[in-house]
Each structure stands twice: as C-alpha cells, then as structure tokens.
C-alpha cells in the first residue's frame, strides 16, 4: 500500500484532535456515524480518505464546521501532486508534512487542554 496523501493525514489529525478535545473515544465516534473504531483509526491516520458525506457526518458529531478539518494546513501539503495549486513554486522549500512540529498533535497536550 502506498504512502497516505498529506491532505488525508492532516484532515485525519484534525478529526482526532477535535475528538480528543471533546473527550470522545474512537468507539463512541464510530457508533455515532455507524463505523467501527478500527475504521475511525484508519481515517485518523490518513490511511483511508474521508469522503464528503462522511466528513459532513463527522462535523455534525464533533460540532465543528466542515472547514475546521482544513484549517492550519501547512503550505507543503498544498505543494503535493506536481506543484499544482496555491503552493506552486514552494516545493523546493517545503519540508515533509510528517516532520511538522504541531504541539496539538500530541496526546499529552490535548489531555492537558481538555483538563484545563
């Protein structure tokens, strides 16, 4: 199987971030949208793409607008697929998306924020 697309990884991480901030388990989110927790895991890792209708369901359950999952997307994610899109010309300066240092991607930070 190929490497997940950086946009799918970003969207999945935003779903995981919001779910964690709400104190919701993967199983509870899965039950709310008719999926297993294993499917939620795959979405959150970016291994499976989240379709439009499923993204809409997640946004309702997580109580955020659909645009929430696309917020704070790094420029280098937009550079993918041959440099098309807004990131054109920035490919040589882009770092790998997986190397981004997002403190909210860490479980400990999310638990601290939720506890606060």
Query: 12: which residues sit within 8 A by CB, 6+ positions away?
Result: 43, 44, 45, 46, 50
Is residue 98 within 8 A of residue 39, CB to CB? The reply is: no
pLDDT value at residue 99: 40
Top-confidence residue, 12 or 88: 12
State pLDDT tens for residues 47-82.
999 999 999 999 999 999 999 999 888 877 766 554
Taking the C-alpha atoms of residue 14 and residue 28, their distance in angstroms, rounded to an integer, is: 17
Taking the C-alpha atoms of residue 58 and residue 55, their distance in angstroms, rounded to an integer, is: 5
pLDDT value at residue 100: 53
Is residue 49 within 8 A of residue 40, CB to CB? The reply is: no
**What proportions of the chain, in percent to the nearest 5, are helix, strand and coil?**
60, 0, 40
The label of the residue with tokens 């240092």 reads 101
Which tokens go with 67?
A: 């645009």
Which tokens go with 7?
A: 């946009």
Is residue 105 within 8 A of residue 18, CB to CB? The reply is: no
Assessment of whether the complete model's pTM goes beyond 0.75: no
């Amino acid at each position: 199987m190929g490497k997940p697309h950086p946009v799918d990884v970003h969207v999945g991480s935003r779903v995981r971030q919001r779910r964690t901030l709400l104190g919701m388990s993967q199983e509870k989110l899965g039950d709310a949208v008719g999926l297993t927790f294993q499917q939620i895991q795959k979405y959150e890792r970016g291994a499976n793409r989240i379709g439009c209708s499923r993204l809409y369901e997640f946004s309702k359950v997580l109580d955020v607008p659909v645009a929430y999952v696309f917020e704070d997307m790094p420029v280098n994610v937009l550079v993918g697929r041959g440099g098309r899109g807004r990131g054109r010309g920035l490919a040589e300066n882009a770092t790998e998306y997986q190397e981004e240092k997002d403190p909210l991607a860490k479980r400990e930070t999310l638990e601290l924020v939720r506890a606060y």
